[in-house]
Amino acid sequence: MSYATTEQTKKLNLTKTLPFHLLIFALLMLLWEMINRLGIADDLVAPRPTDIVMAMADIFFIDQTVWHHLASTFAKALLGAFIGTLIGMGLAITAVLNETFRKYIKPWIILMEATPRIAVGPIFVALLGFGMSSAVALAALVAFFGPFVNTYQGLMDVDHEEEELFRSLGASKFQTFRKLRLPTAMPLISAGWKLAAASAFSGALVAEFIQASEGMGVLISQYVTMLTMHYAFAALLSVTLFGYILFKIMEYVDYRIIFWRDDQLMYSISEKKRNKMRAPA
């Protein structure tokens, strides 16, 4: 009898399975292509894979339209994520350190959580215009929540015994924060950053859908309006591609900052620190 567990997945290594993955992917693409060639699906509804690849090559290398729009959307989303994270973490840290503030901010937070924040889009566009600022503001508003909740949760979830140890050793509030709360909260906080980046993208894209002159949102809706669906798919895939790269970069940063989650990395860093301490003597 076998019950499904995580152990089973861990044992399968990637190099063995990669050819199968590729085979399945190729078969799927072939099937899709054949469906279009045989006229079962309309190119207007689901453009064939070869057309999408050609369109991607066109917008990336020949026509090169996509770079400008990608840079615009990325700038808006990242700036918004940065501002939102600063606000969210600032509020969370204030709430953790100050009990009165924590109590009074709570109903506002519940209200903010229930409101679909992206829905403020039309208001922001009307207030701030069609340029970059409305998209950045919307991205920041959407992004601030993840870092806020995660930072707050992480900083509050401190082990009682550890806290007692710090108190009995006479640690100051700042020391407890810097050496106990912050390190404990780091994994959750960085998960909050990832959330912020992902939601900031949605915010920037929605602002662009509503009204903008540049950005991937504009590009995708332009292609759809012109009914060049293969270009729309290519633009969508480039958002996915660069989103994936960003995600991987953030994962790497996460791995470097929270080094104590990985034994090997922790060992090498503690070795380095020890060497540094020895050097001056």
Q: What is the dihedral of CA 155, 156, 162, 167, to 10 degrees?
A: 90
Binding mask 67-106 for another protein (x = CB under 8 A): -------------------------------------x--
Residue 272 in contact with another protein, rule: CB under 8 A: no
> In whole angstroms, how far apart are CA 78 and each of 176, 196, 268?
32, 9, 32
Residue with token string 């693409």: 29
Q: Are 32 and 46 in contact (CB under 8 A)?
A: yes
- How far is it, in rounded angstroms, from Cα 175 to Cα 166? 9
Q: How far is the CB of 236 from another protein (least distance, A)?
A: 6
If 0-12 CB within 10 Å is exposed, 13-18 middle and 19+ buried, where does residue 41 land? middle
Size of the site for another protein (CB under 8 A): 54
Find the binder of another protein among 57, 127, 253, 266 (CB under 8 A). 127
Find the binder of another protein among 80, 84, 121, 192 (CB under 8 A). 121
Residues 206-225 binding another protein (CB under 8 A) are 206, 209-210, 216-217, 220-221, 223-225
Residue 180 in contact with another protein, rule: CB under 8 A: no
Residue with token string 């540049």: 214
Q: Are 89 and 148 in contact (CB under 8 A)?
A: yes
Q: Are 49 and 173 in contact (CB under 8 A)?
A: no
Q: How far is the CB of 258 from another protein (least distance, A)?
A: 20
Nearby residues of 41 by Cβ (< 8 Å), 6 or more positions away: 35
Residues 5-24 binding another protein (CB under 8 A) are 5-6, 8-9, 12, 17, 20-21, 24
Instruction: Considering the complex, state which of residue 17 and residue 270 has its C-beta at the smaller distance from another protein.
Output: 17
Q: Are 193 and 147 in contact (CB under 8 A)?
A: yes
Residue 126 in contact with another protein, rule: CB under 8 A: yes
- What is Dmax (Cα atoms) for the chain? 79
Residue 3 in contact with another protein, rule: CB under 8 A: yes
Find the binder of another protein among 49, 90, 131, 243 (CB under 8 A). 243
Residues that bind another protein (CB under 8 A): 1, 3-6, 8-9, 12, 17, 20-21, 24, 45, 104, 107, 110-111, 113-116, 118-123, 125-127, 198, 201-202, 205-206, 209-210, 216-217, 220-221, 223-225, 227, 229, 232-233, 236, 239-240, 243-244, 247
